[in-house]
């Protein structure tokens, strides 16, 4: 076979030689295509596997960790939460609407294939600067695609994050997360067992869309990528809704041995992964697979990534029941093969055998690499930058308004108003607070959900940035009144074959792993997305953390809004001179440099425990973490959310812009009645957490004075209405 063929499929010469060794012969064209997609980075994790083993993946509540379609965590009373986050970056860069829409569809299928009913969607989105017309086009298309799919399928999109930075100009990041609920007895897995059991394809018909999509996701973007639109799938959320209901009915009726979504690499990945988990083989006749296009070859059928399809192993004798259930939902279910005992994935086209590959050769025998690492040359220069030499703003009111207008801080209402976040009527805290909160119907419990990552921090210090992503996610859940349970991650990086990129990846995972261990939040599912580069320029390292927390009593949920005149405003944690990597530095000085804020994980754990205990005891009325924009922005957000003002006086020897805009970690703003302040202070003392009274909820302005050596200087004096207008209108105005 001509070497050009396997190289065009993304295989190296040494990988081709390994395939020949495994098969004992040269592969044919169909087999080569199957190896190419399964050995792509997107499917095999061949560059990341050894590093991912650093993550803690076990815990007392973990029922299913990495390796299945989604993670599962026990929440008591025979119930569990199922969740996962995944990327759809490359497709969204080429066709933003369909790329984002099918990303949502795929992650929903990963959750309901486990037997769970999806109850919430979240996302984490990254784009270049909004001044760029192409960025606006991508932003609009991605948000529209997410809204279209989620709204049509009837699952609320309750939270997420959107960041804009020059680091994502050529390559947007689109990460979608789905959360589902399940009873322990209904948990299903993607396994093919029971020799002689039928193999069924259910759902949509197979077309040519998405062929080699997994390979496409394992290479850098370039000008030629625009020509790769055929690799972007087209989704049908109405069919997905029918598929969801039919699959859950089958699982709850006890008719299924195993079930798997046909995602990346389509029928190839679902068949070999299910066979591998079951330690079995599988025989499939592609001529029996329902198609929506004429003249499709076996190669095209095996590699198609057409959406809304599942591979099902029914219990023996249940084939007609499966067909009956799917027919009732207006869907096809067709027997296309059987489970075998020889470990071989055998593909036939009628009577002709077109591929014979050991299933485990596709899933477990891909070469695993340990790429070289090198500290990036830029790092020393950016970390040596000293923000301390910067001049103070002449007008602090103007500085705060500028930060509130920054698209990274400004209201994302333009985004989430397009999402139906109230469908199914379980949403207690909608988008716009630290975390979304949904009730678990029939119980007193609730779930808090968030996605978090600061890519700028990770660019400046990947280890610290990775740890902060975990810490902030947990802090956001705690501020909502929830105990953090577990993590799903989406690790977005450039080309791992470049030593500087792989160093970033390794350091970020190290930082995340340490934070997960200290905060007791194991990683139960996730996704690695490499090759996020355009014309050789990589995105900022962006390890997104999706986290789920449990509220034992939904009545004790908390929001960031200041609530009542006279409430006392408190601060847990300590403000340090840490403007490096801050939003203030970028907005006011056009600089993305310096060292990110330091993180003491033991202090972080103590602050979170103190906050959560105060909420559980009913001592606090609001809680909000300090993150982008620092203390001044956090206070403004609390005022805007509550529609009320605040009078603040802070004693500090720091420079005023450090006090107001430093992004020091492990800080939470609380409000409490005057009578409850001593109890909160006592809790903080028990935990060894710095505690300060900042002021009180009052009037219709945010007034901030800084007291240095006994003299108070009023630096901010802004009507809440003016702050709200700056914060609420910016993205809406830019997007028209």
233 belongs to an annotated ligand binding site: yes
Q: How far is CA 539 from the centre of its chain?
A: 16
Alpha carbons within 13 A on the beta-carbon side of 177? 32
386 is in an annotated binding site: no
The closest of 255, 260, 254 to 275, measured between CA atoms, is 260
Q: Is 84 annotated as a binding residue?
A: yes
What strands, in cross-sheet order, belong to the sheet with 622-625?
622-625, 668-672, 568-572, 691-697, 646-651, 701-708, 711-719
Residue with tokens 């927390």: 549
Q: Please give the C-alpha separations between residue 157 and each of 177, 424, 427, 433, in angstroms, as whole numbers.
A: 9, 11, 10, 14
d(Cα 131, Cα 117) in Å, to the nearest integer? 40
How does DSSP classify residue 701?
E
State yes or no: 90 annotated in a binding site: yes
Query: Does 526 count as an annotated binding residue?
Result: yes
Closest by CA to 160, choosing from 100, 220, 99, is 100
Between CA 712 and CA 108 the distance in angstroms is: 54
88 is in an annotated binding site: yes
User: Was 45 annotated as part of a binding site?
Assistant: yes
In order of 6, 88, 302, 470, 709, the CA distances from 24 in angstroms are 17, 36, 22, 46, 81
Name the one residue in this structure whose structure tokens are 């993304």.
Answer: 10
Query: What residue spans of 601-719 are helical by DSSP H?
Result: 601-616, 630-642, 656-661, 677-687
* Residue 76 CB-half CA count within 13 A: 12
Q: Please state at what angle helix 462-479 crosses helix 499-519, rounded to 10 degrees.
A: 30
> Is 323 annotated for ligand binding?
no
Q: Check the annotation: does 713 bind a ligand.
A: no
Long-range contacts of 135-139 (CB under 8 A, 24+ apart): 135/164, 135/169, 135/172, 136/734, 136/735, 137/96, 138/92, 138/93, 138/96, 138/172, 139/172, 139/735
Number of H helices, E strands in the chain: 26, 28
212 has binding-site annotation: no
Pairing status of strand 117-127 against strand 537-538: unpaired
89 assigned binding-site residue? yes
CA dihedral 584, 588, 590, 595 (to 10 degrees): -30
Q: What DSSP letter does each residue of 199-248 carry, written as one string?
A: EEEEESPB-STTTTHHHHTTS-B-GGGGGGGGGS----HHHHHHHHHHHH
The question of whether 42 is a catalytic residue gets the answer: yes
Radius of gyration of the CA atoms of the chain, in A: 26
Q: What is the 3-state secondary structure (H, E, C) of 464-521?
A: HHHHHHHHHHHHHHHHCCCEEEEEEEEEECCCCCCHHHHHHHHHHHHHHHHHHHHHCC
- How far is Cα 172 from Cα 88, in angstroms, rounded to an integer? 10
61, 88, 421, 557: the catalytic one is 88
CA distance 111 to 695: 45
Q: What is residue 561's three-state secondary structure? A: coil
DSSP per residue, 325-341:
HHHHTT-EEEEEEEEES
Strands of 62-64's sheet, edge to edge?
62-64, 71-76, 79-87, 173-183, 117-127, 157-164
Give the whole-angstrom CA distance, residue 8 versus residue 57. 36
**What's the rounded Cα separation, in Å, for the pair 680 and 693?**
11
Q: Which H or E run contains 399?
A: helix 396-405
Of 42, 61, 212, 421, the active-site residue reads 42
Q: Is 701 annotated as a binding residue?
A: no
* Annotated binding residues for ATP: 45, 84, 489, 526
* Annotated binding residues for substrate: 87-90, 109, 233, 305-307, 529
* Annotated binding residues for Mg(2+): 86, 110, 261, 527
Kindly list the catalytic residues.
42, 88
* Annotated binding residues: 45, 84, 86-90, 109-110, 233, 261, 305-307, 489, 526-527, 529
């Amino acid at each position: 076979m001509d070497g050009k063929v396997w190289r065009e499929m993304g295989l190296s010469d040494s990988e081709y030689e390994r395939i020949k060794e495994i098969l004992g012969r040269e592969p044919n064209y169909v087999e080569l295509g199957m190896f190419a997609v399964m050995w792509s980075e997107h499917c095999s994790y061949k560059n990341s596997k050894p590093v991912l083993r650093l993550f803690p993946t076990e815990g007392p509540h973990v029922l299913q960790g990495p390796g299945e379609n989604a993670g599962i965590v026990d929440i008591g009373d025979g119930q569990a939460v199922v969740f996962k986050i995944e990327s759809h970056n490359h497709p969204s860069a080429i066709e933003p609407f369909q790329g984002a829409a099918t990303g949502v569809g795929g992650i929903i299928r990963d959750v309901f294939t486990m037997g769970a009913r999806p109850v919430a969607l979240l996302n984490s989105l990254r784009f270049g600067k909004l001044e760029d017309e192409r960025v606006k086009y991508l932003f609009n298309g991605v948000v529209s695609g997410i809204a279209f799919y989620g709204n049509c399928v009837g699952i609320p999109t309750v939270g997420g994050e959107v960041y804009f930075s020059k680091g994502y100009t050529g390559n947007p990041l689109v990460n979608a997360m789905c959360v589902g609920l399940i009873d322990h007895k209904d948990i299903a897995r993607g396994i093919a067992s029971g020799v002689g059991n039928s193999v069924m394809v259910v759902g949509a018909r197979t077309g040519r869309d998405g062929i080699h999509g997994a390979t496409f996701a394992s290479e850098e973007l370039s000008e030629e990528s625009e020509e790769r639109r055929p690799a972007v799938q087209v989704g049908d959320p109405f069919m997905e809704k029918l598929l969801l209901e039919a699959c859950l009915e089958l699982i709850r009726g006890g008719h299924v041995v195993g079930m798997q979504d046909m995602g990346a690499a389509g029928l190839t990945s679902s068949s070999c992964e299910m066979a591998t988990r079951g330690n079995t083989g599988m025989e499939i006749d592609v001529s029996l697979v329902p198609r929506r296009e004429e003249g499709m070859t076996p190669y095209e059928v095996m590699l198609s990534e057409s959406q809304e399809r599942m591979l099902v192993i029914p219990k023996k004798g249940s084939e007609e029941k499966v067909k009956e259930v799917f027919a009732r939902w207006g869907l096809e279910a067709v027997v296309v093969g059987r489970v075998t005992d020889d470990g071989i994935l055998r593909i036939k086209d009628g009577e002709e055998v077109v591929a014979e590959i050991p299933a485990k050769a596709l899933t477990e025998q891909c070469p695993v690499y340990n790429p070289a690492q090198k500290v990036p040359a830029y790092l020393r220069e950016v970390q040596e930058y000293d923000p301390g030499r910067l001049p103070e703003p002449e007008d602090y009111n103007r500085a705060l308004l500028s930060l509130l207008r920054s698209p990274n801080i400004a209201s994302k209402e333009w985004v989430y108003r397009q999402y139906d976040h109230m469908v199914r009527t379980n949403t207690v805290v909608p988008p716009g607070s630290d975390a979304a909160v949904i009730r678990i119907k029939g119980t007193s419990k609730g779930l808090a959900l968030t996605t978090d990552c600061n890519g700028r921090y990770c660019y400046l210090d990947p280890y610290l940035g990775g740890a902060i992503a975990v810490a902030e996610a947990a802090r956001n859940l705690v501020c909502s009144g929830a105990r953090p349970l577990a993590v799903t991650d989406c690790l977005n990086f450039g080309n791992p074959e470049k030593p500087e990129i792989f160093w970033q990846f390794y350091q970020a995972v190290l930082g995340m792993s340490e934070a997960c261990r200290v905060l007791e939040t194991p990683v139960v599912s996730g996704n690695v997305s490499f090759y996020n580069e355009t014309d050789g320029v990589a995105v900022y390292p962006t390890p997104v953390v999706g986290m789920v927390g449990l509220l034992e009593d939904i009545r004790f949920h908390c929001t960031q809004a200041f609530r009542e005149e006279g409430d006392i405003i408190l601060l847990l944690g300590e403000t340090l001179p840490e403007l490096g990597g801050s939003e203030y530095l970028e907005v006011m000085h056009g600089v993305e440099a310096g060292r990110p804020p330091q993180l003491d994980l033991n202090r972080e754990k103590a602050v979170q425990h103190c906050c959560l205990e105060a909420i559980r005891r009913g001592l606090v009325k609001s809680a909000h973490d300090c993150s982008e924009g620092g203390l001044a922005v956090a206070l403004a957000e609390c005022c805007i959310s509550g529609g009320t003002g605040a009078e603040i006086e802070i004693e500090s020897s720091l420079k005023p812009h450090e006090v107001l805009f430093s992004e020091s970690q492990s800080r939470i703003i609380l409000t409490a009645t005057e009578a409850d302040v001593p109890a909160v202070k006592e809790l903080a003392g028990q935990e060894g957490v710095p505690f300060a009274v900042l002021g009180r909820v009052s009037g219709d302005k945010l007034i901030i004075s800084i007291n240095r050596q006994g003299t108070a200087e009023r630096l901010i004096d802004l009507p809440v209405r003016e702050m709200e207008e700056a914060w609420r209108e910016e993205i809406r105005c830019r997007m028209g």
